[in-house]
Structure 1
Amino acid sequence: MRHLLLGSAAAATLFFAMGTSAFAQAATEAKSDDGAEVIIVTAQKRVQNVQEVAAAVSVIGGEQIARAGGYNIESVQTQIPTLNFRKGGTNLNSSLFLRGVGTINFSIAAEPSVAVVLDGVVLARAGEAFGDLSDIQRIEVLRGPQGTLFGKNSSAGVVNIISNSPGRVHSGDVQLTANDGNEFKLRASVDMPFSDTVRSRVTVFGGSYDGNITNLTTGDKINGYERYGVRGILDIDASESLKLRLIGDYRKADDNCCGEVIGTAPTGANAAALLTLLPGITFAGDETRAVRNNLVTRTEEESWGVSAQADWDAGDFTITSITAYRGWDNREVREGDWLDRPAAYVGNGFAQLHDDGPQTSTTFSQELRLTSPAGKPLEYVVGAYFANAETERDFRRDVTVCSASTLAIDTTGQRPCSTATGVSTFVSAFSSANFGSESRNVALFADGSYQATERLSVVGGVRVTQDKLSYYHNRVPSPIGGLPGIRNDTSGFKGNTKEDNVSGKLGLKYQATDDINFYVTQSRGYKGPAYNVFFNMNTTGLNAIEPETVDSTEGGVKTAFMDNRIILNFAVFRAVYENFQANNFDTLNGVVITRLTNAGNVSTTGLELDWLIRADSGLTINGGLAVTDAQIEEFRDANLVLSSTRRGERLALSPRLKASLGANYEWEPEALPGIIHLNGQVSYSSDQFADIGENPSLRIPETTIVDAAIGISDKQDRYRLTLNIKNLTDEKYASLVTPGGPGGALRYLIPRDADRYVGLTLRAKFGG
């Protein structure tokens, strides 16, 4: 099978020279008055043509996500140049970045900088957003602060996910994918209308993958997954003026991800001894594909939610209520010493360190809003929002150190330990902590536009927010002091804080012609207060971390020509963040840890370009370009005093240049009773750094990823078989580089797409 797929892949590469889109053609589409197709979005909580929104918005349709082989937000980042994804060892430690800004965060009492909204429900924690995209109609990405409509955790932007709606006839589709590396994915959706006024849609999905890293200790693969879930939507037309939507979903994941490879050789006094503990490992940076672990890093995750939306037409106005309750449980099991034997030599430098940290989270939210009628000089949305999020975590760290041995010093210069020969003294201890947080958010908001003249409109909005945040932290101390990575003191900490904020935006929109729109806006964004609540919390984390605020200026032009067959959008921006919340690396008895702080003030400046060309011949070309300069303005020194000495250093995971280019072509040859579907995509990213600053050892080099696909379907596209080729040029790269490995070695996270692989996707549609 592998040779057949590789041979087919080689032949298919002749068809492709273009890549991914950053501005999708496959969002919700409608016909304008002259018959042209327009892209419809709900990014401003009302139905609009995306070309008329006075903000930079990227849209990706579900069909496009499927063609790219994507199943989560991580895979979408290649299609939106201003979006980056930080992959952590678990979803708890992963985060999104827009325009070079995001929050790397390990605290349970802190907010993300990029909000993720699923069918109108804001997800309270960043990790909740990184599950499977199972049945997506489109994804809208709003760049820049969006606090007016989306609240406190959108200081860098919003990712708005919209699911497919139930159909009015019995129908469905099934999609099965088999990829290299024993990766299999299945998705099946069915529309079941019970009557003209009651319709349902149910989607089930699942997948498994062995992994892309070999654990030489066991011979097994790691960094794979097993996942499954279900999502159901019920639409009820209760009356001509009242529409109801009920949504329920459940997802479970058991991933042996994400184990970090040791990509550089250990150094220092223990280097020779550590090398004897890593036989068979080739230290090749982002080309390393093996580990030696006696504990498999893994994540067990369970997520579920229910929501009820009611839309009531009260005359020309619409009243909307969205009530939601969500649960998210995550257990992180982590190999923290990256070796496969406990304390093989005397000393802390060889200690075994294993973590286990289950976490439970629940969120209740309620939104109520009033939308004015469309087509009037004054259009607006006013509303109120309430959310209460509670999180609790139990964390345990086990450490084993060899403190003495009668064995002789060996050729490495270190004294070995053994349970079989000689007399060795092993010291084992653990420290555990139970900690939790509660966040309560109440807000009133208004957003709208006023058409002052035939072509000039004023846009604006305001949001009044109150945040209440509390936490507690109780630790069972280690009975032995000085062990690496654990504290031997008690905590008994608790605290609370309250913050009030007023944020908003004001701007102008000018329609120069029927095809050209200009806009300029000034916005203030806000991210709520935080506490650095994590396993090793101590007295330095008792003070609240101040809210992060941002002042952003954005201007742009949106153009659509030839009945929307050519769309070209351009935006420039500058945003300055004060009290920027960021992690700083620190050490505890020789183990690298991180601390969340008000790191200082940063800025991001740049330009963005999106384009889309739709030809009558069946060819679509689309793409995007982002030039971003995200840097430090002032940073707190060791004494927590703001200093400009680091001004100009780049922010984490902020490439200066990202670009994408895509092509999709549908060809109906006369000799065949079907359609040939050709798709190619290229995404480029310049170099970036895994942490704030420009530490050369944490540099991630530039990457160019080429994907291609060729498919064949019947004339109605009811059955389609597609050959997918991911990472055609076999470009090696890491998604994250972190210090703190054995002997100061660097740890690399290697994503699935860092190696070339091929696969087949079979899709079948049935029903009306």
Structure 2
Amino acid sequence: MKFITFGRAATVRTALLASAAGLVVPATAQAQDAGADEAEVEAPASNNVIVVTATKREQTLQETPVAVSVTSSETIERAQIRDVADLATVVPSLRVSQNQSSFATSFSVRGFGTDGNNIGLEPSVAMFVDGVYRSRAVSQISDLPDIQRVEVLRGPQSTLFGKNASAGVISIVTKEPQFDFGGMVEASYGNFDAIVAKGYVTGPITDSFAVSFGGGINKRDGFLTNGVDGQDINDRDRWFTRGQLLFDNGGPLRVRVIGDYDKIEERCCGVINVAPSAEIGAIQLLGGQVNDFRNNPDGDVIFTDVDPINEVENYGISGQIDYELGALTLTSITAYRKTGLMADQDVDFTSLDAVSGANIGDADIDTFTQELRIASDFDGPLNFLIGGYYFDERVDTSDQIVYGDGFRPYANLLLQGATGGTQTVDSLEATLSALDGTDYTGQFFASGQGFFNNIVQDNEAFSIFGNVDFEITDRLVLTLGANYTKDKKQIVTNSTSTDVFSNVDLVASGNRAIFAQGLATQVGTLLDLGRPATQAEIGAFAGGNPAAFAQVSAGVQAFADANDTNPAVNSLLALTPFQFLPPLQNCPNAVEDCSTNDDDWSWNVRLAYEVTPTLNVYASWATGYKAPSFNLSRDSRPLPADFAALRAQGLAVTNLRPGTRFANAENSEVYEVGIKGNWSRAAANLTVFQQSIKDFQANTFTGTSFILSNAGKQETFGVEFDGQFYASNELTLSVAMTYLDAKYDSFVASPVGDLSGEPVAGVPELSAVFGAQYDKEVNSNGDRIILRGDFSYQSPVQVVNGLTNFIVVDPATGARDFGPARAAAAAFKREVNNLNASLTYAFDMGLELTVWGRNLLDDRYITTVFPAVAQGQAISGYPNQPRTYGVAARFRF
């Protein structure tokens, strides 16, 4: 078949291609990857032809007029890349982070990515496996035994992918079943008792049916140790299996069915303290232990009374049908997937039994998708691809946080510190019992109290998308693309707070306190007592002077009503920070329908020109879209307007504050110019782009919960370069570099203050991967020695924009000073210097023996930091993985 491609005249015979990461595929893989006969490949043995499907049509990498990085199966094997997280070490534009749990994994491309800590947020960088959309990053963080390649498409891809590809796409392509019997088995052993074993077998059943089966395990001790019970933290314990059936009798019909299952049961993710506080002193006074990390990652000892447990289960089935109707090919991809997860964690991250455990994520995600598209293969100048996509998903998520036996004494110490020793928990209970007429004795901060949350979300969406290619000349191709998406969401929440103190209305209690104090003072003044009157004296005054008493009472009550929200008058308001788990407003309700119904058009215009048979250029403009997202965390609150309406109608629950129930849709836009060249001994690609996302969906941790908000506009100017130099038939040198200038054009309502004009935290200005591979035949038998290495560098970058526990609030005016939050965050930077290498002896009969190492420099750093929970200005963080190394044996047959 022939496709209209970028630079069609640049044939396979002259293509000298490599992955955008600069990591090459050996000559033995050329025919398989390109689907070409050996006679067609005239390039030197060290060069490559890689076919990609980034535009949903088969094209060679160099002909594809989009910014795409390709990592081959051989690179994945040689570099001991286990999962998508490891992939970031060879693709500089990609960053993968894992925070509080396995399900909190997030992907970002060119500095754009969605925080994974909120299950309600679908990623801006969409994940596809064999054309099937994975709606959450957790759906694909495990290994795959039969990867053919991984494509990372940079920039919005909405006109080719059905849903939520506003910042980029990660597309994993696995090997199809073959009609020739073959396979591979592999075993690896490394430090931390790491054991990886996987295998893959394929072959024919009949002349028309072929099958393949693969599976494996990945186990490793943790690189952190819990000093309380000696358990390993941040370990690996996952297994996976996958089966495929292919029908292909050489006719117009082709069918591929895939079933897969994977499971993760790990202790993740360990948290260390990086900055202490007075509150940590209180924890230690009560017998709790906290690691003395102080930016020394080599300590690798934490203290927690609850081991962080993650359980993730993924399975699904998909079927792809291709049918050729002359010059047209009809493709249908149908899939059902289910993801289940459970994460339990000690949210105070100390050995004190302050919080007996928090179920930070218990969810079931059921997803059905259907894609139908038709592509032309005309000989004329016009060709097209038109598709439709349907998405139907239900998310049922629960979380909870429960006080332990140690929380009441801990809160007692904090309360004494906050009140200068004038209040204890016992005295506070007595004070409020008298004011509210309720017996609170022994009820504040009691063990077993907590917050229990359940939210169900239904999401239905459909889209129509397509591209039209028009050959203006043999060398000039114009592409026009469009996508229309309709997306509907509905949530139902059921949250309950049993934290008694958090349910106390300190405004109402303070009103009563102000009234009682004011009345006693006024009556004492009228009676010339020189002091406040006693209750008996007030009673006597009321009985003897009812009219005067009524007038005094009315005046005092008016004063109380006018000042009960004034912290200078109502001293009880200073205790609001101790209401850790206030009740939330469930929805739908009389004001909030808790549904969205949104639609959007996305566009793509691209002009591609073949300058010479070895040099191609293109320019493009594209937009992208990601639908509105609901806040499915335990801090889902009404928007300010809805909050005001609930208050006005008397429907607001006690202590309700406005927040973010949902975030508006993201709209992205990119202007891009690219140059792709290939010559006899070298290949190089250069991309310059300006990319922005309006209303970027940001998720910020405040120390007790996550705040969902829309950044007005996030913008990045960038330059991407990758090049390969074939120094000889044995030696290939490569480099891939990404320069990013990422900033917030507008983010006025950030939880850490106005970030407009500020750099986006966590996005390094410079990322680079330098690689080399030496592949030499050592004897007449065809045995080879393969030495490869890559060095990944990221320039120093501030890991967060601000720390909310450092925000200073003026008690008199309520004014917020965000400066200390910025200053505290600026102290935490991350720089990456990651060296990976492997040495392989490959026997011609199929056996390969390898020695490998990752992060050989043992470069340790903090991936990100966040406010320690209920610990004042303490700061916690997540350490990166230390040096790993081992040996591996692989046999191909």
Q: Which residue number corresponds to residue 583 of structure 1? A: 699
TM normalised by structure 1 equals 0.88
Do 2:109 and 2:154's aligned partners in 1 also have CA atoms closer than 8 Å? yes
Indicate yes or no: 2:284 matched with 1:274. yes
Q: Which residue number corresponds to residue 707 of structure 1? A: 836
Shift in alpha-carbon separation, 1:486–1:134, aligned structure 2, 3 A:
farther
Measured after TM superposition, the shift of residue 105 of structure 1 is 4.4
Indicate yes or no: 2:875 matched with 1:749. no
Do 2:454 and 2:493's aligned partners in 1 also have CA atoms closer than 8 Å? yes
Do 2:163 and 2:463's aligned partners in 1 also have CA atoms closer than 8 Å? no
Measured after TM superposition, the shift of residue 352 of structure 1 is 5.5
- Where do residues 640-651 of structure 1 align in structure 2 (5 Å cutoff)? 646-651=755-760
Residue of 675, 678, 688 corresponding to 1:560 = 678
Q: Which residue number corresponds to residue 24 of structure 2? A: 25
Structure of higher RCO (CA pairs closer than 8 Å, 6+ residues apart): 1
Residue of 489, 499, 511 corresponding to 2:610 = 511
Shift in alpha-carbon separation, 1:92–1:374, aligned structure 2, 3 A:
farther
Q: Which residue number corresponds to residue 361 of structure 1? A: 365
TM normalised by structure 2 equals 0.76
Do 2:102 and 2:268's aligned partners in 1 also have CA atoms closer than 8 Å? no
Measured after TM superposition, the shift of residue 64 of structure 1 is 0.3
Residue of 445, 450, 458 corresponding to 2:470 = 450
- Where do residues 419-498 of structure 1 align in structure 2 (5 Å cutoff)? 427-428=446-447, 429-482=449-502, 485-489=580-584, 491-493=586-588, 495-498=594-597
- In structure 1, what is the Cα distance between the partners aligned to 2:283 and 2:319? 60
Q: Which moved more, 1:646-655 or 1:485-494?
A: 485-494
| Paired residue type of 2:737 | L
- In structure 2, what is the Cα distance between the partners aligned to 1:134 and 1:424? 56
Residue of 185, 190, 193 corresponding to 2:204 = 193
- In structure 1, what is the Cα distance between the partners aligned to 2:150 and 2:358? 38
- In structure 1, what is the Cα distance between the partners aligned to 2:579 and 2:236? 31
- In structure 2, what is the Cα distance between the partners aligned to 1:512 and 1:296? 60
- Where do residues 579-618 of structure 1 align in structure 2 (5 Å cutoff)? 579-586=695-702, 591-614=703-726, 616-618=728-730
Measured after TM superposition, the shift of residue 612 of structure 1 is 2.3
Q: Deviations over 1:561-589 (max 9, x none)?
A: 11xx5210000000122111112343xxx
Q: Which residue number corresponds to residue 6 of structure 1? A: none
Shift in alpha-carbon separation, 1:639–1:102, aligned structure 2, 3 A:
closer
Do 1:151 and 1:526's aligned partners in 2 also have CA atoms closer than 8 Å? no
Of Structure 1 and Structure 2, the greater strand share is in: 1
Shift in alpha-carbon separation, 1:566–1:448, aligned structure 2, 3 A:
farther
Shift in alpha-carbon separation, 1:321–1:672, aligned structure 2, 3 A:
closer
Shift in alpha-carbon separation, 1:728–1:659, aligned structure 2, 3 A:
same
- Where do residues 195-594 of structure 1 align in structure 2 (5 Å cutoff)? 195-237=206-248, 240-264=251-275, 266-268=276-278, 271=281, 273-274=283-284, 277-278=288-289, 281-343=292-354, 354-373=358-377, 376-400=380-404, 402-403=407-408, 427-428=446-447, 429-482=449-502, 485-489=580-584, 491-493=586-588, 495-539=594-638, 540=658, 544-562=662-680, 565-586=681-702, 591-594=703-706
Q: Which residue number corresponds to residue 785 of structure 2? A: 676
What are structure 2's unaligned runs of at least 5 residues?
1-18, 426-440, 503-577, 639-657, 803-821
| Paired residue type of 1:284 | N
Measured after TM superposition, the shift of residue 479 of structure 1 is 4.5
| Paired residue type of 1:458 | L
Measured after TM superposition, the shift of residue 532 of structure 1 is 1.4
SS at 2:800 equivalent: coil
Measured after TM superposition, the shift of residue 691 of structure 1 is 2.9
Do 1:57 and 1:141's aligned partners in 2 also have CA atoms closer than 8 Å? yes
Larger radius of gyration: 2
- In structure 2, what is the Cα distance between the partners aligned to 1:34 and 1:171? 24
SS at 1:473 equivalent: strand
Do 1:624 and 1:661's aligned partners in 2 also have CA atoms closer than 8 Å? yes
Shift in alpha-carbon separation, 1:525–1:140, aligned structure 2, 3 A:
same
Residue of 737, 740, 764 corresponding to 1:655 = 764
Indicate yes or no: 2:763 matched with 1:763. no
Q: Deviations over 1:318-358 (max 9, x none)?
A: 10000000000010111101111224xxxxxxx65533531
- Where do residues 613-624 of structure 1 align in structure 2 (5 Å cutoff)? 613-614=725-726, 616-624=728-736
SS at 1:654 equivalent: coil
Do 2:682 and 2:725's aligned partners in 1 also have CA atoms closer than 8 Å? yes
Q: Deviations over 1:171-207 (max 9, x none)?
A: 2111001110111111111113112211111001111
- In structure 2, what is the Cα distance between the partners aligned to 1:272 and 1:408? 7
SS at 2:396 equivalent: strand
Do 1:263 and 1:286's aligned partners in 2 also have CA atoms closer than 8 Å? no
Residue of 105, 125, 129 corresponding to 2:136 = 125
- In structure 2, what is the Cα distance between the partners aligned to 1:735 and 1:102? 15
Q: Deviations over 1:11-42 (max 9, x none)?
A: xxxxxxxxx97134238235595623422101
- In structure 1, what is the Cα distance between the partners aligned to 2:280 and 2:227? 22
Shift in alpha-carbon separation, 1:745–1:697, aligned structure 2, 3 A:
farther
Q: CA RMSD in A?
A: 2.9
Shift in alpha-carbon separation, 1:194–1:25, aligned structure 2, 3 A:
same
Shift in alpha-carbon separation, 1:700–1:152, aligned structure 2, 3 A:
farther
Do 1:124 and 1:389's aligned partners in 2 also have CA atoms closer than 8 Å? no
- In structure 2, what is the Cα distance between the partners aligned to 1:663 and 1:408? 58
- Where do residues 112-191 of structure 1 align in structure 2 (5 Å cutoff)? 112-191=123-202
- In structure 1, what is the Cα distance between the partners aligned to 2:710 and 2:361? 26
Do 1:726 and 1:756's aligned partners in 2 also have CA atoms closer than 8 Å? yes
Measured after TM superposition, the shift of residue 238 of structure 1 is 5.2
Shift in alpha-carbon separation, 1:329–1:748, aligned structure 2, 3 A:
same
Q: Which residue number corresponds to residue 14 of structure 1? A: none
How many percent of aligned residue pairs carry the same amino acid? 29
Shift in alpha-carbon separation, 1:299–1:235, aligned structure 2, 3 A:
same
Do 1:720 and 1:762's aligned partners in 2 also have CA atoms closer than 8 Å? yes
- In structure 2, what is the Cα distance between the partners aligned to 1:128 and 1:639? 29
Q: Which residue number corresponds to residue 572 of structure 2? A: none
| Paired residue type of 2:847 | Y
Do 1:709 and 1:723's aligned partners in 2 also have CA atoms closer than 8 Å? yes
What are structure 1's unaligned runs of at least 5 residues?
1-19, 344-350, 418-422
Shift in alpha-carbon separation, 1:79–1:416, aligned structure 2, 3 A:
farther
- In structure 2, what is the Cα distance between the partners aligned to 1:479 and 1:273? 21
- In structure 1, what is the Cα distance between the partners aligned to 2:889 and 2:262? 23
Shift in alpha-carbon separation, 1:105–1:735, aligned structure 2, 3 A:
same
SS at 2:89 equivalent: helix
Do 2:322 and 2:332's aligned partners in 1 also have CA atoms closer than 8 Å? yes
Measured after TM superposition, the shift of residue 730 of structure 1 is 1.6
| Paired residue type of 1:663 | A
Q: Which residue number corresponds to residue 71 of structure 2? A: 60
Do 1:21 and 1:681's aligned partners in 2 also have CA atoms closer than 8 Å? no
- Tell me the number of residue pairs that the alignment of Structure 1 and Structure 2 aligns: 721
- In structure 1, what is the Cα distance between the partners aligned to 2:191 and 2:219? 12
Measured after TM superposition, the shift of residue 486 of structure 1 is 2.2
